[in-house]
Amino acid sequence: MLPLLKRSALILICSALVACASGEGPGDAGAGESGHAAEAHGEGHDGGPSRRLPNVFISPAGEPFRAAFSAPYPVAAWFMQADADHDGKITRDEFRADALSFFGKLDINHDGVIDGAELAQYEQDVAPEILPKLESLHAEEGMDPTLTYGDQRNTDNRPDGSRARRQSPSRPPAPVRGIGTQGAAVYSLINTPEPVAAADAQFDGRITQAEFAAAADRRFDLLDKTTAGYLTLTGLPKTPLQTEILKREKQARKRQDRRGPPTNP
């Protein structure tokens, strides 16, 4: 028994030495990635590491685009796809065509309608990011209380359990907690928590191709604020998630500047 215990202890020691030599340990997977993979960790409200942010964009039609943590934010991938003639502009026709192309992917039985079963498959399998992972938490928010995405109503998971102040005649009503930026809106250019279901203008649980095209036209008008008739990549608003990523990258750079350049051993 004693020799067996000695061999087991030796194996554990060797494993620890290998992990130290490789710079890896529990929870260190992907630590060597560049870009916002490392920088967007940031620090939480208590000075500790905050939750890693997903690199996800959801198009105005509801199509998800995902990229590695080290890659640029994937809004550019959607823009390149929608810009059919690659002239750096998305026209209304291109915008609508891109939406209808995604409609065809969701219309599994090709009957010209997205029904309840196809909508459920979209929410659960195609773009599960839009569904909260836990009750009262927003999509991909986890337990990081700093992720309000710029909307102070997103405070359901505040760590101190504090509540909104009571209303008084001299004080305006406090914002309702947890109803701000939710679902797909976290990853989108438009504040629409479920962009596919929102196209159901008749509220009959069936989304026709005509309804989806009409929704695309409405969303194009929302984004084309200057009524130029086209969209450019630089002219698009930033998604709440993209804004959060950029904020954390800026914070990471400031922390690095305070620490100064690394010193040679």
In this predicted model, what pLDDT tens digit does every residue of 33-44 receive, in sequence order? Answer: 334 433 444 444
Q: How far apart are CA 53 and CA 242, in angstroms?
A: 9
Report which of 250, 196, 255, 249 is spatially closest to residue 36, judged by C-alpha positions.
249
Please check whether residue 114 is in contact with residue 207, taking contact to mean a CB–CB distance below 8 angstroms.
yes
What is each CA distance from 7 to 15, 45, 94, in whole angstroms?
12, 45, 67
Q: Tell me, what's the pLDDT at 154?
A: 55
Judge if pTM exceeds 0.75.
no
Place of tokens 């938490």: 137
Look at 218 and 167; give whichever has higher pLDDT: 218
For residue 260, give the 3-state DSSP assignment.
coil
Please check whether residue 115 is in contact with residue 107, taking contact to mean a CB–CB distance below 8 angstroms.
no
Mean per-residue pLDDT for 248-254? 88
Tokens of 131: 């569904």
Q: How far is CA 261 from the centre of its chain?
A: 32
* Mean per-residue pLDDT of the chain: 75
For residue 174, give the 3-state DSSP assignment.
coil
Q: At 51, is the pLDDT very low, low, confident or very high (cuts 50, 70, 90)?
A: low
Residue type, 89: K
Mean per-residue pLDDT for 237-256? 90
Place of tokens 């359990």: 161
Q: Which pLDDT tens digit goes with each residue over 80-126?
A: 999 999 999 999 999 999 999 999 999 999 999 999 999 999 999 99
Q: At 139, is the pLDDT very low, low, confident or very high (cuts 50, 70, 90)?
A: low
Least confident of 16-30, 90-104, 188-202, 249-263: 16-30
Residue 120 has a CB neighbour count (10 Å cut-off) of 10
Cα Rg of the chain (Å, integer): 23
Look at 103 and 70; give whichever has higher pLDDT: 103
β-partners of residue 58 are: 64
CA dihedral 252, 138, 102, 37 (to 10 degrees): 20
Q: Tell me, what's the pLDDT at 47?
A: 42
Q: Which pLDDT tens digit goes with each residue over 187-211?
A: 999 999 999 999 999 999 999 999 9
Q: Which pLDDT tens digit goes with each residue over 53-65?
A: 889 999 999 999 9
Name the percent of the chain lying above pLDDT 70.
Answer: 61
Q: Tell me, what's the pLDDT at 39?
A: 42
Report which of 143, 120, 145 is spatially closest to residue 130, judged by C-alpha positions.
120
On the CB side of 59, how many CA atoms lie within 13 Å of its CA?
Answer: 27
